[in-house]
Structure 1
Amino acid sequence: MTKYKLEYIWLDGYTPVPNLRGKTQIKEFESFPTLEQLPLWGFDGSSTMQAEGRSSDCVLKPVAVYPDPARTNGALVMCEVMMPDGVTPHSTNARATILDDEGAWFGFEQEYFFYKDGRPLGFPEHGYPAPQGPYYTGVGYSNVGDVAREIVEEHLDLCLAAGINHEGINAEVAKGQWEFQIFGKGSKKAADEVWMARYLLLRLTEKYGVDIEFHCKPLGDTDWNGSGMHCNFSTEYMRTVGGKEYFEALMAQFDKNLDAHIAVYGPDNHMRLTGKHETAPWNKFSYGVADRGASIRVPHSFIKNDYKGYLEDRRPNSQGDPYQIASQVLKTISEVPTEKAAAAA
């Protein structure tokens, strides 16, 4: 038997953006534990905005498990928060009730800033660095500094070793801003891995004395870039049948559900979605081929392939909850009648 360090990870009850929480317990197993072997575990919900002190018990229910490459015999355990009965989902448990479909594929482009001493990493103590331009996919000390690449490379290795479907990294438009991409099949699986990748990044930067800023517009009303979490999505129908009529019906449904999407695409999005800097206005829906300023960017490949493939919703922001984002995208797609579109095609 081997003693395993199980890091139970969950989302707390803070709003509008929940925080990641984690605590460790030690359990013996003959080999790396399966999800079914992991027990429920209680915690003090009064310390996480999920219960009152007079009735503080909440329960963690494991829903996904990954190797923890930063620990010997470690496991990362993604959990849902349950009521004391261990069966009823807590009101803050967004994962338990979302729409899910393994045939729906999601790719999230998570942007963020490194922050140190209250300003983006690489910014001077007063004022701003040279204007944006050379930082995006940049190389060299003047563009990316002396520690950022070390962190993102180590984060990439941690994610891959944990079995997270990390698909790439790049320096972003603003100095101190970076991006990683996560792909998953199904709303819950894709979102689990985004949250776990965020957790690993936050934990990693502790030893560097650097913070991660996920706010979508941390530098306020300036020309400096905001941070998004573009959501690339497709369903089996979109990939195999598609068609122009179905695509147009789908875009009409996204337009109809504008408010529902913006409501879950991350707080303060009006600060980022201004219609400037390659963003669509938050209160108007649009789509266009290869148009980075549209709500939904349509790849050239989608049109060339008879309107089949994936689409990119550019409105979700860096603070957004991927559970709710993926679920709302899937909900809107489900409202478009595929049988009628297929018959017409």
Structure 2
Amino acid sequence: MKINSLISSPSEWLHSGEGNNKIVVSSRVRIARNLNRFPFPGWARKNERIRILSITLPEVSSLGEMKPLAIVDSMDRFSPLEKQVLVEEHLISREHAAKNVGSGLAVNSSRSVSIMINEEDHLRIQTFKSGLQLKAAWKLAEKIDDELDEKLEFAFSTKLGYLTACPTNVGTGLRVSAMMHLPALVLSEQISQIVKAVNRIGLAVRGLFGEGTEALGNLFQISNQMTLGESEEEILERLHKVITQIIQHEENARQKLLQEKPKFILDQVSRAFGILQNSYIITSKETLNLLSVVRLGIDLGMFPENYRMIIDECLIKIQPAHLQMAYERKLSSEERDQLRADFLREKFKNFPSPDTRHLQFPYHH
């Protein structure tokens, strides 16, 4: 399997550069499509799912946007560990990881496109971009959708739009989301107000791995909930507006903390840095939360900007399946906690100490 070579380089959406990537880590677009005259995956018999896979996989693999292809295979060809790596990379859902014969996956080598076959719908087209680039992610997804539309006959109703397995996706079949890093809103205990406000206007706030997961590392996914009765442009526009407002709230919270509690921020960042640099046993949950605080330190100018890539790489590499893949064997959780600490000490050994000269301390001598 090509998963080792796939994860040896960082994925495109972690490359700093485009978009306001201090607060918005990445943008994702997902389109749900189904073939006409075939039952949805949940209702399809095994031989029908195999037939759907045999029709869609060659068409998906031949797309220009999928070149060069890194992965194209049936889900039963992946080991449980490889599936878990794909979940940690955000390339497949946890539901898709449970699939076997009759489900498939295609991923391009930059990991900007991942297409799940026979997850909840026949096709789940996912595109990823770094920072706040919702429109660019949508353009890429739309191009793939148009190309596939010419080759495959999609289930479509003139009254409702695209037909999907779950009623919330009917219409455009479009789910747009941004992964946001919101440590100051968490530290200043404003996050629950923001989440409530976002929920009230019909958007969803989820954790690091989507539905039903915790917001580890102060990372939150903000996405639209409904797809019926709104055009793709309206969905994108509305989400972009809300995300821009959340960025503003996070920036204000950072300024307020710096002005009112500079010692608190310095303490949080320095402790996090000290533990990452010196621990010998550490869990993935603790690591994600500490990395988040050091990333905030980079945003606030306490570390040089070029160290951001190390933090973003660590966010992925310290996760359980990635560690086991790196050491090429199954590890107990105790072994993982020790090897994770070894990995982090190595990564942080040349990290400079936090630079606090620009912070204003009222009683600092």
TM range (shorter): 0.3 to 0.5
User: Which structure features the higher share of helix residues?
Assistant: 2
Higher RCO, Cα 8 Å, sep 6+: 2
Report the TM-score, using the length of structure 2 for normalisation.
Answer: 0.40
Report the TM-score, using the length of structure 1 for normalisation.
Answer: 0.42
